[in-house]
Chain A
Amino acid sequence: MIPSDHFPRFYNEVFKFLERQGEDVLKDYWLEISKNQERHVLDLFGEKGLEGMEEYWTHIRDEENCDLDLRRDEGMLELRMHKCPSLSKVLDNDAAPMGRYCDHCAGWIGPIMDKLGYHLVYDVVDRTKPQCVMRVFTDERRARAAEKYTKLLMDWPGKKTT
C-alpha cells in the first residue's frame, strides 16, 4: 500500500512520466482525474452551487490538513491557500519534483466548472511555493476582470479563451 499520505509523491512520479509523453497525454490524464472527481462533486456543486463548493473545500481543508481560507459572496467563492500540503510533500521529497505539479489542480477543477457553467480563475502565483488563489465566479465578466490581477494564471483542457 502506498499510504494515502504519500499520494502526492506518487502523483509526482506519474506527472513526470506523462509530461515526457507530451502535453496532450498530461491533459488527458487530468481529464480522467476530473471525471473521477465528478463522482464526488458534480451533484453537490450542481445542486448547491457556490455553497456546495464551499462545503467540499471545507471538507478537503480538514481531511488534507490544508492551511487555507475560504470566502464566499453572492457570486464568488475564493479559496486562498497559504500552505498546500500536496506541493509541500512533493518539495519535501527524495525524488525530484515535477516543475508543473501545481497545474493538475486547475486541470481537474476547470473542466468540472466549465461543465456546470461556472467560471474558474486559478492563480498559482508561483509553482515553487505551496500557495495559490482559486476563485470561482457565477458571472463570466467578473471572472475575466479578475484574471487581469493574477500572477500565474492556469489553463486546463477545453478552457475557453477570449
Chain B
Amino acid sequence: MSEDKPLRYQETGNIHLDFHGAVNTTIDFVVERFGLEVLDEIFERVGKDVYADIRAHLMAGNAEELVRHWRYFFERERADFGIEANDEEIVLIVHRCPAYQHAKKIAPKVSAHFCDQTIKVNQAMAEGTPFAIDTEITGEGSCRQVIRKRR
C-alpha cells in the first residue's frame, strides 16, 4: 500500500455539509415509503458498488485503505476522532460526528436511522472479506467502528 497513491475518490476543495441534511431527508423518505429493508439494500449497494475499491483492498487482506479513507474524510470534515490499532483490531473512535451534528443543526429532527449509513455501509464493505467491521453507537453523534480479522 502506498501512502502517496490517491484514494479512489480523493476529493479536494470546499465541502458542502448541507448534504448531510439531504441524507437525513432521504433516509426518512425511504423508510416511510419502503421500509428499513430497502434502506439497508441501498446502503449495501453503496458499500459494495460505490466503495468497490475499498472492498477490493479488504478482500486482498488490506484494511489500511479503509483507515486512510476514514482519516482523510474525517479530517476534511473536521471531526473529533481518533484511530487506535493493536494486533487484534483497528478502532475508529468518533467523539463528534460532523454528519450527525450538521444534520442536527439544519434538520427539524435527526432520523432514528441516520447512523445506519455507517453501520450498513461498513457491513457491506466487509461482507465476504477476511474482515468484520462492527459499529457501536456510543451516544448522539459518537460511535466506535472496529475492524477485526474474522476467525
Contact = CB atoms under 8 A, between A and B. Distances in A.
Interface residues of B, number: 45
A39 B20 CA distance: 14
A10 B24 CA distance: 12
Contacts of B106: 39-40
Contacts of A9: 9, 46, 50
B99 A17 contact: no
B76 interface: yes
B16 A4 contact: yes
A2 B121 contact: yes
Interface residues of A, number: 34
Chain B interface secondary structure, helix, strand, loop or mixed? helix
Q: Residue among A3, A33, A64 with the most chain B CB within 10 A?
A: A3
B140 interface: no
Contacts of A94: 8, 49-53
Interface of B: 8-9, 11, 13-23, 25-26, 29-30, 33-34, 38, 41-42, 45-46, 49-53, 73-74, 76-77, 79, 94, 97-100, 106-107, 117-118, 121
